[in-house]
């Protein structure tokens, strides 16, 4: 029997039943303006690669950063500084100030970004509480957090022509602000988004942009497209043959002519499969769901790495979370369970792209096994499977195969929403988003680093969003029905010795 080591210094910060104080917290919208680049930029249509297009049907990404400010500084002074610096940074990040043209038009005959200096939505608001109240409560998730972000969602509109980036700055009583943001995934992946936020913070402190974005989306523009009639790209599963994870599967984009009969399992979903999966997703979205964050300190992470047999903090924490959330959801033994992730491919494409590339350059993959197999093994099983998944997502040719896969699906008439459902995985799939390596707590707008970073909303049930801890370790945000969340709280922070 395993001994249990309980890390009392670790925390889980969850939404509690609403108190009277929380129910009466009011967020008041003061004004909305549009921030445009400080200097007019060249009007042009920007090519969207297939790595961008697959994100058109996906909901916007939202985040909130909390800051203490000088109580003597007027709120309008703070917002003026933020607007001026945002205007300056948009000169370099001009596609973010553009608009999405979803109609197949222009030279490419496909959706594009109209770089027209349409601007960024900037909302100013106030909240009738002190930021110290949230700080004392360790920024436990609150139902009103979603009111701290402009809840725009381009995926809900077939011909969305609103801003691609929206910001809300909310002032607290007695000083303190939060910066809520909403960005359309088509314009930026996680690396690009946090690069934008970092550069904005630089400008707000009075410094020039130290690392300007590179606009190189045409790198992924095909002069000659794949002949889909003779060579097909499948999103397929390969059986893993490594001893301790034998029988599990890794899903990736592979040319059919490179697959052997022994390992190829075509998983292209039928329309009926997609409808059933969509029904599951919509049902999950309408359930009463609770958002909770968990902090893994360095001591916990080192213990997990030792148990998992890995030097990677991401692998160790993700493997532990995958096991615990599967147990908390009481998944039937023979039900497929999976772990999905995306890998930053900037340094893996040929020629390599700089870290400052603005756009989407990530490749997705999934690992799958059964609940019985995952829960019947120790953590090394899950960790080894995730390590193999990382190798697969990072392998040479995956980005090219993904681009060709999208071409073939679009060429056959598959609409973009249907395309997204083909690679979304199953109902009991944990999908990891964000990264503990992003510079979240380096974003100093002149008032020091953030007190806390929050996810006001989260897509998917049992998904995990990873952030760096403020001082050390890793924070994980997830969303589950209350009963399942209560189970997760009881088991996630206990590390078997």
Q: What is the Cα–Cα distance from 272 to 280, expressed in whole angstroms?
A: 12
Least confident of 69-73, 85-89, 450-454, 493-497: 493-497
Q: Which residues of 309-322 are buried (b: 16+ CB within 10 A; e: fewer)?
A: ebebbbbbbbbbbb
CA distances from 138 to 14, 69, 131, 133, 135 (A): 10, 18, 11, 9, 5
Q: What is the Cα–Cα distance from 372 to 369, expressed in whole angstroms?
A: 8
Q: What is the Cα–Cα distance from 36 to 117, expressed in whole angstroms?
A: 6
Q: What is the Cα–Cα distance from 15 to 12, expressed in whole angstroms?
A: 10
CA angle 54, 468, 4 (to 5 degrees): 110
Which are the contacts of 3, defined by CB distance < 8 A and separation ≥ 6? 496, 497
Beta strands 336-344; 362-370: pairing state: antiparallel
Tell whether omega for the bond before 404 is within 30 degrees of 0, i.e. cis.
no
pLDDT digits (tens, 9 = 90+) for 383-405: 999 999 999 988 878 999 999 99
Size of the chain in residues: 497
* 290 pLDDT tier (thresholds 50, 70, 90): very high
pLDDT digits (tens, 9 = 90+) for 331-350: 999 999 999 999 999 999 98
* Residue-level pLDDT at 19: 44
Paired tokens of 135: 């700080």
Paired tokens of 251: 């899903």
Q: What is the Cα–Cα distance from 404 to 224, expressed in whole angstroms?
A: 11
Q: What is the Cα–Cα distance from 7 to 9, expressed in whole angstroms?
A: 5
Long-range pairs, 259-265, Cβ under 8 A, ≥24: 259/234, 263/238, 263/239, 264/234, 264/236, 264/238, 265/236, 265/237, 265/238, 265/239
pLDDT digits (tens, 9 = 90+) for 226-285: 888 787 888 888 888 777 787 899 988 888 765 444 433 344 455 555 555 555 454 555
CA angle 37, 39, 40 (to 5 degrees): 80
Which are the contacts of 443, defined by CB distance < 8 A and separation ≥ 6? 65, 197, 198, 201, 449, 450
Where is 132: in which H helix or E strand? helix 131-136
CA distances from 200 to 91, 169, 207, 224 (A): 11, 14, 10, 38
Identify whether the C-beta of residue 283 lies closer than 8 Å to the C-beta of residue 255.
Answer: no
* Residue-level pLDDT at 105: 53
Paired tokens of 377: 């093994």
Q: What is the Cα–Cα distance from 170 to 79, expressed in whole angstroms?
A: 9
Averaged over 202-223, what is the pLDDT?
A: 94
* Residue-level pLDDT at 21: 58
Q: Which residues of 273-283 are buried (b: 16+ CB within 10 A; e: fewer)?
A: ebeebeeebee
Q: Which of 13, 38, 23, 140 is nearest to 91 (CA)?
A: 38
Does 111 score more than 70 pLDDT?
yes
Task: Give me the DSSP letters along 250-294.
Answer: EEEEEEGGG--TTT-EE-PPPHHHHHHHHHHHHHHHHS--EEEEE
Q: What is the Cα–Cα distance from 429 to 54, expressed in whole angstroms?
A: 19
Q: Which of 178, 206, 181 is nearest to 194 (CA)?
A: 181
Does 496 score more than 80 pLDDT?
no
Domains of the chain (ranges, CATH numbers): 11-220 (3.30.559.10), 248-496 (3.30.559.10)
Q: What is the Cα–Cα distance from 382 to 310, expressed in whole angstroms?
A: 11
- pTM value is 0.90
* Residue-level pLDDT at 304: 97
């Amino acid at each position: 029997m395993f001994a249990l080591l309980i890390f009392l210094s670790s925390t889980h910060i969850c939404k509690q039943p609403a108190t009277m104080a929380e129910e009466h917290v009011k967020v008041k919208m003061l004004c909305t303006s549009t921030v445009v680049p400080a200097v007019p930029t060249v009007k042009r249509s920007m090519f969207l690669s297939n790595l961008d297009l697959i994100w058109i049907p996906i909901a916007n990404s939202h985040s909130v950063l909390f800051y203490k400010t000088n109580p003597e500084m007027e709120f309008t002074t703070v917002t003026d500084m933020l607007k001026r610096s945002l205007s300056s940074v948009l000169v370099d990040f001009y596609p973010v100030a553009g608009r999405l043209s979803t109609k197949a038009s222009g030279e490419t005959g496909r959706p594009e970004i109209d770089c027209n200096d349409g601007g960024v939505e900037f909302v100013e608001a106030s909240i009738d509480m002190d930021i110290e109240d949230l700080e004392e409560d360790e920024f436990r998730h609150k139902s009103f957090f979603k009111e701290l972000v402009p809840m725009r969602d381009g995926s809900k509109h077939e011909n969305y022509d609103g801003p691609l980036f929206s910001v809300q700055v909310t002032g607290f009583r007695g000083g303190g602000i939060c910066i809520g943001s909403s960005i359309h995934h088509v314009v930026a992946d996680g690396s690009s988004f946090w690069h934008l936020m970092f550069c904005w913070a630089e400008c707000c402190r009075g410094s020039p942009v130290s690392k300007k974005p590179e606009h190189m989306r045409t790198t992924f523009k095909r002069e000659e497209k794949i002949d889909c009639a003779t060579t097909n790209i499948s999103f397929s599963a390969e059986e893993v043959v490594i001893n301790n994870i034998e029988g599990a599967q890794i899903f990736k984009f592979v040319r059919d002519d490179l697959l052997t009969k022994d390992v190829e399992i075509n998983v292209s979903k039928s329309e009926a499969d997609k409808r059933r999966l969509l029904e599951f997703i919509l049902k999950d979205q309408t359930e009463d769901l609770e958002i909770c964050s968990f902090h893994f300190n360095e001591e916990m992470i080192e213990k997990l790495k030792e148990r998992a047999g890995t030097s990677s903090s991401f692998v160790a924490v993700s493997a532990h979370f995958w096991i615990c959330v599967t147990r908390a959801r009481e998944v039937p033994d023979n039900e497929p369970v999976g772990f999905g992730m995306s890998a930053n491919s900037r340094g893996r494409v040929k020629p390599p792209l700089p870290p400052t590339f603005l756009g989407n350059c990530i490749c997705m993959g999934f690992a799958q096994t059964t609940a019985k197999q995952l829960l019947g093994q120790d953590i090394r099983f899950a960790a080894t499977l995730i390590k193999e998944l990382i190798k697969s997502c990072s392998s040479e040719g995956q980005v090219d195969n993904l681009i060709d896969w999208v071409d073939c699906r679009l060429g056959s008439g598959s609409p973009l929403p249907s395309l997204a459902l083909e690679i979304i995985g199953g109902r009991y799939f944990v999908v990891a988003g964000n990264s503990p390596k992003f510079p979240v707590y380096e974003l100093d707008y002149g008032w020091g680093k953030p007190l806390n970073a929050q996810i006001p909303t989260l897509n998917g049930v049992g998904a995990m969003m990873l952030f760096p801890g403020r001082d050390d370790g890793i924070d994980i945000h997830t969303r589950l029905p209350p009963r399942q969340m209560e189970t997760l709280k009881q088991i996630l922070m206990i590390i078997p010795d």
